[in-house]
């Protein structure tokens, strides 16, 4: 039974991957002209479909909105019962349908054309009603569904989804949509924080542990413990001269039976890893990973000590 399960899964993936690979051969001037049409429109992209194609349409809408192309989903069945008012004068309509001949599509397309809105079809049948009536027809043909009965939309909906991704990425690149632009649309969650959160945003929430170079070990240990960052900066005349972590304290205890007369300068690291306070938090994460450390000293443009960023700060924000 287990072998049957694995065999079915692998066969499904092979079928769909082959169908996707074949899509590249179907891309032609219609695709290019469709992209140019969307680029020059002053309106939005309205994406419609019915059944499983409607579910794919909602995902493509989400992708376009998140990459800078304003888009709205309109269910094909609801459109002919009042929702047609969603479409405004300057909008472009993308209609998704495997067969291109469903009754709802046949009713909807003439209504859209009446208002002269460009129609971009994504269909598996370019000779269908939709395929022949659309302004631009994108061929999403698949030879067969992954479903053994060749009925349940599987391979065909995957092809539709990939065609939508191809549209979105073309628009993204041609509009020179950057990671900074992406951050504007993704302010929440770990993804957004990776794009906009800076070291300053995290350091300013923390205590600022610091001791002088001549501070004794007991006071140094208390500073590390009280500020709860597992480390402290060492200053001399307000200038950063070193760094002490709780690991340094442990190593000092292992090496010295008599440490009562030691001071901060005796155990500090003199070349600690630092990061600009205005650097992106993701840079801090990468530096910690590359150096297998848990803290970084944050400094300003003049090298002045501003605080410590800890790996736990990054974990708390969902970045690490």
SS3 state at 3: helix
- The structure tokens 């939508």 sit at 164
Where does the chain show beta strands of DSSP type E? 45-49, 71-75, 92-97, 119-123, 136-139, 210-212, 231-236, 239-245, 274-276, 295-299, 305-310
Q: Is 186 annotated as a binding residue?
A: no
- The structure tokens 């938090």 sit at 281
Cα–Cα dist 282/52, whole Å: 38
DSSP state string for 146-157: SSTTS-SSSHHH
C-beta separation of 23 from 137 below 8 A:
no
Can you say which residues are annotated as belonging to the binding site? 75
Can you say which residues are annotated as belonging to the binding site for Zn(2+)? 75
């Amino acid at each position: 039974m287990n072998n049957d399960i694995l065999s079915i899964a692998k066969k499904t993936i092979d079928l769909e991957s082959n169908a996707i690979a074949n899509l590249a051969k179907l891309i032609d001037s219609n695709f290019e002209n469709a992209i140019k049409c969307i680029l020059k429109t002053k309106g939005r992209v309205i994406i419609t479909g019915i059944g499983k194609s409607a579910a794919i349409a909602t995902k493509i809408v989400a992708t376009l909105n998140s990459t800078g192309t304003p888009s709205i989903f309109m269910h094909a069945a609801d459109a002919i019962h009042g929702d047609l008012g969603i479409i405004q004068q300057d909008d472009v309509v993308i209609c998704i349908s495997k067969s291109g001949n469903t009754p709802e599509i046949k009713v909807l397309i003439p209504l859209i054309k009446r208002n002269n809105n460009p129609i971009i079809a994504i269909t598996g049948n370019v000779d269908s009603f939709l395929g022949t009536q659309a302004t631009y027809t994108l061929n999403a043909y698949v030879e067969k569904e992954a479903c053994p009965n060749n009925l349940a939309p599987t391979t065909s909906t995957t092809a539709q989804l990939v065609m939508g991704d191809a549209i979105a990425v073309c628009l993204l690149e041609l509009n020179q949509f950057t990671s900074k632009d992406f951050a504007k649309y993704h302010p929440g969650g770990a993804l957004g924080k990776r794009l906009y959160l800076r070291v300053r945003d995290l350091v300013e929430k923390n205590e600022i542990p610091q001791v002088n170079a001549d501070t004794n070990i007991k006071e140094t240990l208390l500073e590390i413990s009280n500020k709860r960052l597992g480390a402290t900066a060492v200053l001399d005349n307000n200038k950063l001269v070193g760094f002490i972590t709780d690991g340094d304290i442990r190593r000092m205890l292992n090496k010295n039976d008599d440490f009562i007369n030691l001071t901060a300068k005796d155990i500090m690291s003199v070349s600690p890893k630092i990061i600009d306070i205005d650097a992106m938090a993701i840079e801090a994460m990468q530096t910690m990973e590359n150096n297998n450390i848990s803290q970084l000293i944050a400094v300003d443009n003049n090298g002045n000590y501003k605080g410590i960023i800890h790996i736990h700060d990054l974990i708390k924000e969902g970045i690490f």
